[in-house]
Amino acid sequence: MAKLIYSAITSLDGYIADEEGNFDWAEPDEEVYTFVNDLERPVGTHLYGRRMYETMVYWETAHTVADQPPFVRDFAQIWQAADKIVYSKTLETASSARTRIERDFDPEAVRQLKARAGRDISVGGSDLAAQAIRVGLVDEWHLFVAPVGVGGGNHSLPNDVRLTLELLDEHRFGNGVVHLHYRTQT
């Protein structure tokens, strides 16, 4: 059975974007990118909400941008190789290959996907991840805590859920970012 993994870069005060929707403070450096690339390699399917998908679809053509460093090109190739499911009531067509649009998040369909998938699945975007967290679908967590407080914005975790997690690993990067890897305890 595949695992459903939630990965997020979050501020120290728990936000993935500030009150204006900015997340430039979270841009990874080469060391963090390389680490993330290794985490993303086993992922076969990404689950996205519309806003996260519209941010991530950049990677469909990122390899065509001149002078991209190798670690950025590597991430683009990893992203392009994975399937994408976008949950949106408004998006009419996908802007990337290997992408399908679903109108509603169906927890049972995700359970079935986990049961039959040969590779892990990631969920991206705080709103969609919150839905998966609320119904107990998230198996593992990769939280990258940036050494910055933004004072408000989009929460990285839902407020209305109690979680018990087991710390599996942690890693400190030279730029002050800390990676925390958890497993959901049942």
* Mean pLDDT, residues 94-113: 97
- How far from each other are the two terminal CA atoms of the chain, in whole angstroms? 16
Tokens of 125: 């975007």
Whether the per-residue pLDDT at 186 is higher than 90: the answer is no
Q: Are 148 and 25 in contact (CB under 8 A)?
A: yes
Whether the per-residue pLDDT at 75 is higher than 80: the answer is yes
Domains defined along the chain, listed by start: 4-184 (3.40.430.10)
* Mean pLDDT, residues 165-176: 98
Query: pLDDT digits over 13-69, tens only?
Result: 999 999 999 999 999 999 999 999 999 999 999 999 999 999 999 999 998 999 999
